[in-house]
C-alpha cells in the first residue's frame, strides 16, 4: 500500500503539473474528474512555460490554477528553462506535500515535474506514457524527455497498446502500465458538447489547415516548408490557413515568407473551440503537432505529418495520417495527391481514430483510487484499440 498524507477530510492530494498548451488540453479531463471525485483534492501547478497560449487555454477549459511559476522567457534556452522549472516545482512539492504528482506527455515541464517529484520521494503518474519515435533527438528534446520520465514513473498511463508494449519492452513492470486511450479524445468530446467555435477560414475554398512549431523543424526546414506552402497556395482552389505559434523562431520564418499572399491566411493561435471548428471545416491538415494529428481523424480529416519520424504510427497504420516528411517535393506531392484524388481522399478521411474512446480520465482515476486502497476494483485496460 502507498503511504498517504492526504487532506484533513481524507482526500488524496494530487499535484498536477503542466506548462504548455497541449498539456492543458490533455490534463483538463483528468482535472475535471479529480475535482468531481470525493477521493481527491487536486492542486494545479502551472509552470508558466507558455504564457498567453496557455493562459487562454486554461480559461477556456475552465481550469483554476493553484500556483503559477511564471518561468517563460522570450526565446528560452532548454538548459535555463530546465533549471527554473526544477527549482520552482521542487519548492512547491515540498510546500504542498502531495500524495502523487501527475505529469503529461514530454515537454520540459513534464520532465521537470517528474524529476522534482522523484527527488521529493513522491510517486509520479505519467499520462500519455510510452510514445516512442525510436530516435533519441527527434522530436527534440521530447523523445529524451519521455524516455527519462518513464524511468521515474510509478503509474504509466499509456494511450494505446503500442505505447504500453513500448514500456514493457523497456522492462517497465506490466502491472504498472494501464492502457487508457488518449485524454485528448475525452476533451474533444467534452468540447464538442459545447461547440461554440467559429471556423477561421475566410473563403469557401478548400481549406488547408497548417500548424508548425517543433524545434527540429525550425530554421532551414521551416523555410523549405514555407516554400512548399507557397507552391500549394498557387492553386486557385485552396485557402491555406496558418495559426502561428507564439514562438519567435516560428514567426521569424513564416511571417515574412507567407505574409501577403492572397490565398494564405496567417492568424494568431486560435481559441481552442475555434480551432476545433476550423478542423471541422478544413479539407486537409498539414502539421507537425502531436495533438492536432490525434484530433483530426475525429473530424474525418486526412493528416499529413510534417516530420521525418513519428511516435504515433497508430494514425498512419489506421490510414488516417501519412508521414509526409519535411522535404518540399514529398510534401507537395502528398498534398496534391489528396486534393486531386477523391478515392485516396475518401479512404483516408474514412479511417477510424485509433487514439481513444473518451474514457481515459475515468480509467486513470479508477487505477489511482484502487492503488491507494480507496476502491476494491482496479480499472480494466482499454483493449478495444487495435494493437498499433
Ligand atoms: C513546447 C514543448 C513542445 C510542445 C509545445 C506545444 C518543450 C521543450 N517543448 O515547445 O514539446 O509541443 O510546447 O506548443 O517543452 N512563447 C510565447 N508565448 C507563449 C508560448 C511561447 O511568447 O504563450 C514563445 C517564447 O518566446 C518561448 C518560445 O515561444 O521562449 C518557445 O516556447 P517553449 O515552451 O520553449 O517551446 P515550444 O516550441 O513552445
Ligand atoms: N490548438 C489550439 N489553437 C491553435 C492550434 C492548436 O487550440 O491555433 C490546440 C489543438 O487543438 C491541440 C493543441 O493545441 O489540442 C496542440 O498543441 P501544440 O500543437 O502546440 O502542441 P503538441 O500537441 O505538438 O505538443
- Which atom number of ligand 1 is nearest to the Cα of residue 73? 30
Task: Please report the atom of ligand 1 found closest to the CA of residue 141.
Answer: 8
- Which pLDDT value is given to residue 1? 59
Instruction: Please tell me the residue having the least CA distance from ligand 1 atom 10.
Output: 214
Mutational pocket test of ligand 1: of 23, 58, 72, the residue with most ligand atoms within 8 Å of the beta carbon? 72
Q: Is 320 in contact with 303 (CB distance < 8 Å)?
A: yes
C-alpha torsion 276→279→281→282, nearest 10: 160
Q: Where are the domains positioned within the chain?
A: 12-182+356-387, 198-349
Q: Is the dihedral of CA 322, 328, 334, 335 positive or negative?
A: positive
Asked whether the predicted pLDDT for residue 343 surpasses 50, the reply is yes
Contact criterion met (CB below 8 Å) for 156 and 129: yes
380 prior amide bond cis, ω within 30: no
For residue 29 and ligand 1, the question of a CB distance below 6 A is answered with no
Q: Report, as an integer, the average pLDDT of 22-31.
A: 98
Helix axes 21-36, 183-193, angle to 10 degrees: 80
Mean predicted lDDT score pLDDT of the chain = 96
For 246-259, the pLDDT digits (tens) are: 999 999 999 999 99
Q: Which of 2 and 156 is assigned the larger pLDDT? A: 156
pTM given for the model: 0.97
* Averaged pLDDT for residues 62-88: 98
Query: Ligand 2 centroid to 23 CA: how many Å?
Result: 9
Helix (H) or strand (E) holding 15: strand 12-18
CATH for 12-182+356-387 is: 3.40.50.2000
Q: Tell me if 12-182+356-387 shares its fold with 198-349.
A: yes
Pocket test for ligand 2, best of 291, 295, 298, 306 (most atoms within 8 A of CB): 291
Q: Which residues are catalytic?
A: 106, 128, 142, 213, 215, 245
With bands split at pLDDT 50, 70 and 90, how would you rate the model's confidence at 236? Answer: very high
Instruction: Calculate how far, in angstroms, residue 266's C-alpha sits from the geometric centre of ligand 1.
Output: 19
- The alpha carbon of 290 and the centre of ligand 1 are apart by a number of angstroms equal to 14
> From the CA of 55, which ligand is nearest?
1
Q: Which residues of 243-267 are buried (b: 16+ CB within 10 A; e: fewer)?
A: bbbbbeebeebbeebbeeeebbbbe
Confidence at residue 388, expressed as pLDDT on a 0 to 100 scale: 42
**Distance (Å) from CA 308 to ligand 2 centroid:** 19
Domain 198-349 has CATH 3.40.50.2300: no
**In the structure grid, which three cell numbers stand for residue 334, read together?**
502528398
**For the segment 307-320, what is each residue's pLDDT rounded down to a tens digit?**
999 999 999 999 99
Q: Contact 143/175 with Cβ under 8 angstroms?
A: no
Task: Give the number of other Cβ atoms within 10 Å of residue 195's Cβ.
Answer: 10
Measured distance CA(87)–CA(73) in Å, rounded:
16
The pLDDT value given to residue 382: 81
Mean pLDDT, residues 187-197: 91
- What average pLDDT does the segment 351-356 reach? 97
Q: What is the rounded average pLDDT of the residues 6-20?
A: 92
Amino acid at each position: 500500500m502507498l503511504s498517504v498524507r492526504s487532506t484533513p477530510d481524507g482526500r488524496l492530494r494530487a499535484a498536477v503539473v503542466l506548462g504548455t498548451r497541449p498539456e492543458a488540453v490533455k490534463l483538463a479531463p483528468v482535472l475535471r474528474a479529480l475535482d468531481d471525485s470525493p477521493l481527491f483534492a487536486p492542486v494545479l501547478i502551472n509552470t508558466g512555460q507558455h504564457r498567453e497560449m496557455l493562459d487562454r487555454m486554461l480559461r477556456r477549459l475552465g481550469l483554476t490554477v493553484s500556483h503559477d511559476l511564471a518561468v517563460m522567457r522570450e526565446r528560452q534556452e532548454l538548459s535555463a528553462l530546465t533549471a527554473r522549472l526544477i527549482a520552482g516545482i521542487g519548492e512547491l512539492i515540498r510546500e504542498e506535500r502531495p500524495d502523487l504528482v501527475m505529469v503529461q506527455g514530454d515537454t520540459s515541464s513534464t520532465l521537470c515535474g517528474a524529476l522534482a517529484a522523484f527527488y521529493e520521494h513522491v510517486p509520479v503518474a505519467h499520462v500519455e506514457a510510452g510514445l516512442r519515435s525510436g530516435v533519441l533527438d527527434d522530436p527534440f528534446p521530447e523523445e529524451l524527455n519521455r524516455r527519462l520520465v518513464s524511468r521515474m514513473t510509478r503509474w504509466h498511463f499509456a494511450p494505446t497498446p503500442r505505447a504500453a508494449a513500448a514500456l514493457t519492452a523497456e522492462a517497465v513492470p506490466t502491472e504498472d502500465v494501464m492502457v487508457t486511450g488518449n485524454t485528448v479524445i475525452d476533451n474533444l468530446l467534452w468540447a464538442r458538447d459545447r461547440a461554440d467555435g467559429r471556423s477561421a477560414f475566410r473563403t469557401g475554398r478548400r481549406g488547408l489547415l497548417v500548424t508548425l512549431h517543433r524545434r527540429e523543424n525550425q530554421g532551414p526546414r521551416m523555410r523549405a516548408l514555407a516554400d512548399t506552402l507557397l507552391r500549394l497556395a498557387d492553386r486557385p482552389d485552396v485557402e491555406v490557413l496558418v495559426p502561428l505559434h507564439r514562438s519567435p523562431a516560428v514567426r521569424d520564418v513564416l511571417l515574412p515568407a507567407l505574409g501577403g499572399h492572397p490565398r494564405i491566411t496567417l492568424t494568431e493561435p486560435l481559441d481552442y473551440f475555434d480551432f476545433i471548428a476550423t478542423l471541422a471545416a478544413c479539407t486537409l491538415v498539414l502539421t507537425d503537432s502531436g495533438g492536432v494529428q490525434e484530433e483530426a481523424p475525429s473530424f474525418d480529416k486526412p493528416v499529413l505529418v510534417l516530420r521525418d519520424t513519428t511516435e504515433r504510427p497508430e494514425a498512419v497504420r489506421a490510414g488516417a495520417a501519412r508521414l509526409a516528411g519535411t522535404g518540399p517535393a514529398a510534401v507537395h506531392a502528398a498534398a496534391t495527391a489528396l486534393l486531386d484524388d477523391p478515392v485516396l481522399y475518401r479512404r483516408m478521411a474514412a479511417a477510424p481514430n485509433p487514439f481513444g474512446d473518451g474514457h481515459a480520465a475515468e480509467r486513470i482515476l479508477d487505477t489511482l483510487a484502487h492503488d491507494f486502497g480507496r476502491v476494491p476494483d482496479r480499472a480494466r485496460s482499454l483493449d478495444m484499440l487495435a494493437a498499433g
